[in-house]
Structure 1
Amino acid sequence: MRDPRDHDEESLHRIRALPKLELHLHIEGAAPPGFIRGLAQEKSIRLDRVFREDGSYAYGDFAEFLKVYEAATSVLTSPRDYARLTTAVLEQCAASGVIYAEAFLSPDFCGGGDLGAWREYLHAMREAAAEAERDMGVTLRGIVTCVRHFGPDKAKAAARCAAETADDWLCGFGMGGDENRGSQRDFAYAFDMAREAGLRLTTHAGEWRGPREVRDAVTDLRVERVGHGVRAAEDPALCEMLAETGVVLEVCPGSNVALGVYPDLRRHPINDLRARGVKVTVSTDDPPFFHTTMVQEYQNLALVFGWEEEEFRDLAKTTAEAAFCSADTRAALLKRLEPAT
């Protein structure tokens, strides 16, 4: 790690060019605004108060973000729409040098929680992902997510969809949505169902609520990864527990700053968490909403915290080891991460 002021353009270029992996990416939230606008026009759907004059997504606080997110998602109404979306998202990933991504996929948005419809949506996304892997070299895997503010009953339906379609491609189950609604334990039944189906588990926690929410996620739902989890930094004992158990945090620095969880990156705790031995990864969350890319995340971490190539290579290795993919896929990813000789 160096003084951030010591980074020159050559070192930044090397960092920007590194192969990257991300584990926290919402498929709908990664939709380019132009893609959503174009789809709305094709279908003659009005999207009021969704875009700013410059064409970007328009929202103020987190509550408004959720409303705009769901409004934008409303134009995605068929498996073909999601196939096209998958291609558009993976094009963005490839442009940032991402070689592997895990995307959150919600049966609530893909068929309204109906298992038959979900199978059709899933098939379309998988076909698009296979084409992208062949043509762009980026590997996608899916994590089914329930939506917290839709309630435990809908979460059970999402878990059923996940359990019935679980395999090496659909490899995880998690929960997104409004963290301020209900508690983690309210969703224990859905997570138990997914676990019994062999799916690996993650959940959003510790973005808006404090460190206790992260502890509840680990103890009540027995997840091995936590989405965001950054508020854990406020509790040294919790950080020690996370370090000892190897629970991985899916940290999204640009998202946290854009939504006001932290006022700027300098006051973001990612560096502190790493120093305490907590395993962290870096992702973009909903990149067009937060005006970020994986290239920008890497560059900002280098410029603010002085991370060098060694830190980013270690980050990528940690991410590959925390991925929910098969052992064969992980081995192939680790091979791609080896420095060229």
Structure 2
Amino acid sequence: MTGSTGDATVTADWIRSLPKAEVHVHLEGSFELIDLLELAKAAGEPLPGPAATLFDLGTHHGFAVPEVTTGGGRDNGAGVGGLTGFLRFLDWQCGLVRTREQAARHAYRFAARQSASGVAYTDVIVNPTHWRAWRGREAALLAALAAGFDEAEQDGLCAVGICVSLLRQQSSAEGADVARWIARDRPHRVVGLSVDGDERAAPRSGARFAEAFTIARDAGLGRTVHTGESSGPDSVWEALDLLHAQRIDHGIRAVEDPVLLRRLADDGVSLGVCPHSNITLGLYPDLARHPIGRLVAAGVTVTVNTDDPAPLRTTLEAEWLAVAESLGWDRERVVRLALDSVAASFAPAETRERLRAQLERVPLAA
């Protein structure tokens, strides 16, 4: 299966060969089936359904998972559809990780899977509220993950920076405490502050986390905000004006506001778009009706990402190929996508420069 041809054919193999970055991917969404089987067995917990269909989506894109706490409230009953059920599934997965060795191994495997897609650098989002066995020990969790990433990089695998994410339902004081802790202690491999979670539960969280993101800005940390997915353009404006966002995770509904599109383009704020995730969770029926093409046409910098690759059954090369096919991109345009991914990342300057130099030498002819 190939994309549009320009100088030469765009294929998944060729996309894998490109040195590139991924900037919108959640560590919580990268547990493969084998990981969950091993972790559930070690924890003595049953799977929430047959192993062969564990990642299957239900009638309303819901995951049948046990009752768990998501963001400060009980969500009773299994199989709630849409993003709510999906987030409960992530909570269940992360709750299986109980030891430092398990956390480090998951980090190592994540880096290995990124490398298999040709990703040279990743900003991975980690939301400690999903990892219920580590409540009150968040520093230890991050240290364990960093150890796994260290080992992976030493073995020649993808370099990884961590964006610690707040949950939208957390309080202003909790968010500020997290930001102060990161700014003060500078946990190893932490490069930025994020906020994620169900936008429908807390669509307007800009004012709530303004203090936290101001602390992050003043400390020189990267800032990325998950918004403009199920919430509208107003939430993206808040991320820009109140949270000093350098990147927007999703941000697709910015397409509804021409003034916002100009602001994003003029300020060079990139959108970390995840087309397959948006379609799978029911925001758009298919890629043809996804707004990514209109965002690009408006001059907004867009990166293409996987979001939660394991349960969504996707890879970065599959996402890039699908977009290239849909928009008629040739090799030159896909290399530009790779350059944009590197520029949007919070990687060290020397890493970004090295990857840019490698991309500028990529041959475009077959």
Q: Secondary structure at the match of 1:317?
A: helix
Q: Partners of 2:134 and 2:27 in 1: how far apart?
A: 16
Q: Is the 8 A contact 1:7 1:303 kept in 2?
A: no
Shift in Å at residue 337 of structure 1? 2.4
Amino acid at match of 1:102: D
Q: Is the 8 A contact 1:108 1:158 kept in 2?
A: no
Instruction: Return 302-311 or 162-171, whichever deviates more.
Output: 162-171
Q: Is the 8 A contact 2:223 2:246 kept in 1?
A: yes
Q: Partners of 1:311 and 1:161 in 2: how far apart?
A: 41
Q: Partners of 1:128 and 1:335 in 2: how far apart?
A: 28
Q: Partners of 1:273 and 1:259 in 2: how far apart?
A: 20
Q: Partners of 1:340 and 1:236 in 2: how far apart?
A: 35
The answer to whether 1:270 aligns with 2:292 is yes
**Equivalent residue number for residue 54 of structure 1:** 53
Taking the TM superposition and a 5 Å limit, the aligned residue runs for 1:1-341 are 10-12=9-11, 13-49=13-49, 53-56=52-55, 58=57, 59=63, 60-109=81-130, 112=134, 114=136, 117-166=137-186, 169-182=189-202, 183=204, 184-340=206-362
Q: Is the 8 A contact 1:274 1:280 kept in 2?
A: yes
Q: Partners of 2:159 and 2:138 in 1: how far apart?
A: 21
Instruction: Return 216-225 or 117-126, whichever deviates more.
Output: 117-126
Q: Secondary structure at the match of 2:29?
A: coil
Q: Is the 8 A contact 1:47 1:71 kept in 2?
A: no
Q: Partners of 1:309 and 1:165 in 2: how far apart?
A: 43
Identity across the alignment (%): 34
Q: Partners of 2:354 and 2:82 in 1: how far apart?
A: 40
Q: Partners of 1:291 and 1:8 in 2: how far apart?
A: 30
Q: Tell me, which stretches of 5 or more residues in structure 1 are unaligned?
A: none
Shift in Å at residue 119 of structure 1? 3.0
Q: Partners of 1:109 and 1:157 in 2: how far apart?
A: 18
Q: Partners of 1:8 and 1:70 in 2: how far apart?
A: 45
Q: Tell me, which stretches of 5 or more residues in structure 2 are unaligned?
A: 58-62, 64-80
Q: CA distance change for structure 1 residues 7 and 92 in 2, over 3 Å: closer, same or farther?
A: farther
Amino acid at match of 2:186: A
Q: Is the 8 A contact 2:23 2:341 kept in 1?
A: yes
Q: Partners of 2:4 and 2:119 in 1: how far apart?
A: 26
Q: Partners of 2:177 and 2:184 in 1: how far apart?
A: 11
Shift in Å at residue 207 of structure 1? 0.3
Q: Is the 8 A contact 2:27 2:124 kept in 1?
A: yes
**Equivalent residue number for residue 67 of structure 2:** none
Q: CA distance change for structure 1 residues 137 and 52 in 2, over 3 Å: closer, same or farther?
A: closer
Amino acid at match of 2:129: D
TM-score for the superposition, normalised by structure 1: 0.90
Q: How many residues align?
A: 336
Shift in Å at residue 309 of structure 1? 1.2
Shift in Å at residue 159 of structure 1? 2.1
Q: CA distance change for structure 1 residues 303 and 8 in 2, over 3 Å: closer, same or farther?
A: farther
Instruction: Return 7-16 or 279-288, whichever deviates more.
Output: 7-16
Shift in Å at residue 5 of structure 1? 6.3
Shift in Å at residue 229 of structure 1? 0.2
Q: Secondary structure at the match of 2:163?
A: strand
Q: Secondary structure at the match of 1:149?
A: coil
Q: Partners of 1:55 and 1:107 in 2: how far apart?
A: 23
Q: Is the 8 A contact 1:32 1:89 kept in 2?
A: no
Q: CA distance change for structure 1 residues 236 and 134 in 2, over 3 Å: closer, same or farther?
A: same
